[in-house]
Chain A
Amino acid sequence: MSNNKLTVAITGMNAKPDNPGPGLAVSRCLTESDNFSGRVIGLSYDALDPGLYLKDYCDVGYLLPYPSSGDDAFLERLTEIHEKEHIDVFIPCLDAELPSIIRLNSVINEMGIKTFLPTAEQFRLRNKDKLVELSKLAGIDCPRIEAISNTQFFYECQDDNWTFPLVVKGLFYDAKIVYNPEEAIIAFKSIAAEWGFPVLVQEFVKGGEYNLTAVGDGEGNMIGAVMMKKMAVTDKGKAWAGVTVLDNKLYEASHQLIKALNWRGPLEVEVLKDTKGNYNLLEINPRFPAWIYLSHGVNRNLPMALIKLAMNETPPDYEDLKPGILFIRYAQEVIVPMSKFENLVVNGIND
């Protein structure tokens, strides 16, 4: 395999137990693969992101400027890091950074860094406010959803046949179930403050959540699909435990979406199966999920497949997906000398 000595840069090395970033799990997939003996460069926005200090999964860690600092600041920092580390492949893992990274993709590629990302148009088409159209493509239902910009909606929505509870969601992250207008307004303000406008309001559907992750090859093919049912979730609704399943309807719906969008890159399709057995499309995330380590656990190492595609190589054929393999997340601490923390805060590097 030609990618065993590659240097791979990965973002999303945060690992807050209630809502971890996917970067650390992507790195675990690579570093625990028998076919990878390269280096991982961890990229983060916060010196307290634990992934930057975990030497088994991150050879060197760097701080990046926040996406709000602008494209020039990001490119300048990436260029500095690239000059030192000679990055071969870059895997961004956070929703909020993807618009700017996709916009800069050709510049990043010209620097000699390979990526395997959706186009700006593909990224736009899977936005949360396009879910109704996407669910039609997938041949499944979609909970009623509306983008709002002020709290008056919550006092008037019942006139328009909305009923509480509702789900209040950020455009990139976060979702809160609310049971009355007062709770809804608190959720609206908190989400708007963190993720900006519009805020999305979605019909609450009771049922079990099923997720699929895969890589789209950009030609309509879905590679290495792994499906799981959430068995336990955090307060933020993130998977704390899950089990692999073989769900043909989820598989077909996801395949249809990838085909219709010609999706290029990793993705996660989230559906909710209601108590009557109907499938409802909740979200399409344009990146690997935080539970991606499960793909390594079922011999479908999707980050390795992504690297193959980025290197213009053919990903392997996988054996059939094994149902009944669980993941159970846990939280633990990494011990960090002050000098390491200081180096990250002052110089933006932990080497």
Chain B
Amino acid sequence: MDNLQGSKELYQRLALSENGFVFDPVSGQSFTVNETGIELLRLLQKSADIQQVQKALTDIYEAQPNELERDINDFTSSLSELMS
């Protein structure tokens, strides 16, 4: 599989339930995320542009931009590893 980190295709294929259960129909992997994770995944499903996602999260959470950017990168990197 190609490296899908930052790929809109990867995020959009994920089945995401209200309670944070996530299933990838391609890799068969499933996992749970917390409320912040749900929020982030929903944003990534709309746009894989990290800058846009970061801006949207800044409006929701009180966090420094560089801190948010690092957290988003960590999250998408873990996700990509899990989905490959």
A residues whose Cβ falls under 8 Å from a Cβ of B: 208, 210, 228-229, 231, 242-249, 273, 275-277, 323-324
Contacts and interface: CB of A to CB of B under 8 A. Distances in A.
The contact size tier of chain B is: 10 to 19
Contacts of B84: 273, 275-277
Given A275-B84, A276-B84, A324-B15, A243 B1 contact: no
Interface of B: 1-3, 15, 23, 25-30, 84
Contacts of A229: 27-29
A242 B28 CA distance: 9
Contact of A228 (B2, B15, B28, B30): B28
A245 B15 contact: no
A213 to B, nearest CB: 15
Contacts of A273: 1, 27, 84
A275 B83 CA distance: 10
30 contacts: A208-B27, A208-B28, A229-B28, A229-B29, A231-B28, A242-B28, A243-B28, A243-B30, A245-B25, A245-B26, A245-B28, A246-B25, A246-B26, A248-B26, A249-B1, A273-B1, A273-B27, A273-B84, A275-B84, A276-B84, A277-B1, A277-B2, A277-B84, A323-B23, A323-B25, A323-B26, A323-B28, A324-B15, A324-B23, A324-B25
A58 B23 CA distance: 37
Nearest to A231: B28
A176 B1 CA distance: 27
Given A228-B28, A245-B25, 20 more contacts: A208-B27, A229-B27, A229-B28, A229-B29, A231-B28, A243-B30, A244-B28, A245-B27, A247-B26, A248-B26, A249-B1, A273-B1, A276-B84, A277-B2, A277-B3, A323-B23, A323-B25, A323-B26, A324-B15, A324-B23
